[in-house]
Copies of this chain bind each other. A is one copy, B any other.
Amino acid sequence: MDLMKEFHPIIDDAEDNSVVRCNMTSCEKCIGRSVSMCSALKDHEVKLLSDISMNISKRSKQVICAEGELAEYLYNVQSGCVRISKMLSDGRRQVIDFLFPGDYFGLVCNNGYNYSAETITDVNLCRMPRNAILEKIKEIPAFSKKILDITIHELLETQEQRLLLGRKSAKERLCTFLLTINARSSNGGHMKKNHIFLPMSRADIADYLGLTIETVSRQFTILAKDNIISLENSPLVRIIDIEELQLIASGG
C-alpha cells in the first residue's frame, strides 16, 4: 500500500480523523473547480458558507454516512476516493459511484441519505450543512441553477450506467469502467499519462459493474494478456492500447 500513501499524502499522521472549521483559504482553492457550486456565489456569500462548513479528514475504510441516516450534511471531496453504495435487503450491494476530488455527495436524498458513503483511501472533505444549502437555493437563483446543473449531470451519468448494466458484456463493462476512471481521476495532475490509479478492491469494481469478483479478475487478466493494459505495478493500471479499449467499450 505504499502507492496509496504516495498518491494521498494529505492527512497528518498524528490523528486518524480531524474536523476543522473551513477558512477562506481552503474555500478559495475549492472555488477553482469548474463545476463547483460555490462559483455561483459572491465573495461574501462564500464567506457565509465557509463559516458554517468544516474540513474533514478521514482515514481509509471509514464510514462517512450511512444509508437511511438523517441527512444533515452535504459533502465535497477535496482529495482521495470515496465509494457510494446501496444495499438490497438480502445483502447484495450495488456500488453507485466512486467519487474523486471535486465530486459532491449527500445532496440528492429524501430525508435520509439514500446511500452509504465510505472512504477508500485517506480523504479530505468539505462538509456543509444541508439546511443552509437549501436556504441558499431559495435565496440565490444562480446558486439554485448550479445545484440543478450538478444534479442533472449526475442524472445523465446514472443513465449511462444503466445502459451499461442493462446491455453490456463483462468485457465491455470493464473497459468502459477503466475509461471512465481514466477520464475522471486525474488525481490532481500528478499521474503519469495513461496510468490509472485504482484504489478500490475487485469486490468494489464487481459491485459497481454488476459482476462477480472472479469475472472482473478474469477480464483484467484477459485485457493484460491481449496487451491492451498492463497490471505490473499493482494499484496502477497502464493503458497500452486506448483505441482498442474504446472500441471494446463501445461494443465493437
Contact = CB atoms under 8 A, between A and B. Distances in A.
Interface in A25-69: none
Interface stretch (A12-20, A84-92, A197-205, A225-233): A84-92
A3 interface: no
A129 interface: no
Contacts of A250: 88-90
A166 B85 CA distance: 12
Contacts of A123: none
A156 B96 CA distance: 11
Interface string A147-158: 110011011101
A162 interface: yes
The interface residues of chain A, by DSSP majority, are classed as: helix
A139 interface: yes
Chain copies in the assembly? 2
Nearest to A137: B145
A207 B252 CA distance: 20
A113 to B, nearest CB: 11
A24 interface: no
Nearest to A167: B92
Nearest to A155: B155
A193 interface: no
Contacts of A144: 137, 141, 144-145, 148
Residue from the set A108, A152, A166 with the largest chain B CB neighbour count within 10 Å: A166
A210 interface: yes
Contacts of A138: 141-142, 145
Given A89-B250, A137-B141, A155 B151 contact: yes
Interface of A: 86, 88-90, 92-94, 96, 108, 110, 114-115, 137-139, 141-142, 144-145, 147-148, 151-152, 154-156, 158-159, 161-163, 165-167, 207, 209-210, 250-252
